Amino acid sequence: METNKPGLAIMTSGGDSAGMNPAVVCAVEYATQRGYKPYLVYDGLKGLIANSIVPASKDLVSGIMHKGGTALRSSRSPEFFDITFRTVAYQNIKSHGIEKLIVIGGDGSFRALNQFYNDFEIPFAGIPATIDNDIAGTDYCLGVDTALNVIRQSIDSIRDTASSFSRAFVVEVMGRHCGYLAVTSALSCGAEVCLVPEIEYNLDTIGARLKAEIAEGRKYIIAVVAEGTKMGEYITRYINDSIGMEARLTVLGHVQRGGSPTVHDRIMAYKFAVAAVDALDAGETNAIMTFKDGTYSHLPIEQVADAKYKLDPALLKLAAPLAC
C-alpha cells in the first residue's frame, strides 16, 4: 500500500439512487489501498459548507453495501452557488488536509464541483448516479438497474389485477425529460403502449390499434408513460372515454429510487469507484467516469455537461411501434 498521500473526500449529491452506498464503500476501500486518507462528507454540498466532514472509519461504511439511497445523505444547496459559501467549504476541506474529491451524483452536482475546481483548484472525479440515466457520455448511471427492477416488479403486479378485471392501467415512471426508464420497462414488460419525449406518438393510431386488438380478444392494456411527456392523466382518460376500457393511472413516483441495489449496480459501483480514484491518482482534475459501448473511461466535465444525452437509436426503434 502506498502512503503519504493527501486526504480524499467522498460525497453523494443530488437525487439519491441505489448504488450510491456501494460506490462509497468501494471508493473508501480502494482509496485506502492507494495510500489516501479517505473522508466522508455528509449532506452533500450543504455538508461541505457546514463542515459535516469526518474520517471514513470502518464502522461508518460497514453494513451499508446492501442499502438503497445514500447513507451519506444528500441535499439541494443554492448557497453553494454563492462564492462566499464556496469559500467556507474550501476552508473546511483544507482544515482536514483534503486535496481531492469524489462526487457521486448527477450532472448538476458535477457542475457545482467544477465551479469549485475553477475557484480553488480542488480536483474532483464524478461518478454518474441517477435513475434517469440521462448523463451524456455514458451508457449507464448507478441506480438504473435497481430502478428498472422496481418498475418491472410493479408492472408485473399491476398486470395481474389488469387481467383479473379486464382493465387498462397507465403506469407513469420517472426520468425527467429522458424516456430511458419508460422505453426499457415497456419493452421488458410487454406493454401495449409507450409514450416518451423522444418518440413522436399518435393517439389516433394507437386508439385504432388497441380497438382492433380488443375486437380480436384483448382483455387488458398496459401503457407505460414517461413523466416528461406529462401525458399520464390524459391517456388514462383517452383509453377510458375513447377506447371504452375502464382505465386506471398508477404513478410509481419515488419508490423507483429505493430498494436494495442489484448485483449489477453493486459491480458497476465498484468499477466506477476504482476508476475515479485512479483518475485522481493520475492527475485528472475534473473527470467524469463513463461506461460507453462496453468500455470504462472518463471524460472532462465540459464534454459531459455541455452535451445532451441521447437514447440509443436501436432502443427507440424497438419501442416505436408502441407509440403508433
> How far is Cα 23 from Cα 67, in angstroms, rounded to an integer?
12
> How far is Cα 247 from Cα 169, in angstroms, rounded to an integer?
6
pLDDT in tens, 130-173: 999 999 999 999 999 999 999 999 999 999 999 999 999 999 99
Domain match, 149 and 293 both: no
Boundary (domain end) residue, out of 238, 257, 276: 257
Q: Calculate what percentage of the chain has a pLDDT beyond 90.
A: 96
> How far is Cα 151 from Cα 322, in angstroms, rounded to an integer?
18
Please state the pTM of the whole predicted model: 0.95
pLDDT at position 278:
98
Where in the sequence numbering do the catalytic residues fall?
A: 132
Domain match, 59 and 13 both: yes
pLDDT in tens, 123-138: 999 999 999 999 999 9
Contact 184, 322 (CB under 8 A): no
Domain interval for residue 276: 7-143+261-309
Spell out a b/e string for 175-211, using b for 16 or more CB atoms within 10 Å of the CB, else e.
bbebbbbbbbbbeebebbbbbbbbbebebeebbebbe
Domain match, 253 and 268 both: no
- Average pLDDT of span 105-122: 95
**At which residue does the C-alpha cell 500500500 appear?**
1
Q: Sheet harboring 193-195: ordered strands across?
A: 193-195, 221-226, 168-173, 247-251
Q: Calculate what percentage of the chain has a pLDDT beyond 70.
A: 99
Mean pLDDT of the chain: 96
> How far is Cα 110 from Cα 300, in angstroms, rounded to an integer?
10
Residue in 10, 13, 16, 19 with CA at minimum distance from that of residue 269 = 19
Domain match, 168 and 302 both: no
Domain match, 127 and 186 both: no
Instruction: List the grid coordinates of 172.
Output: 407513469
Number of domains in the chain: 2
Domain match, 117 and 156 both: no
Q: What CATH number corresponds to the domain at position 185?
A: 3.40.50.460
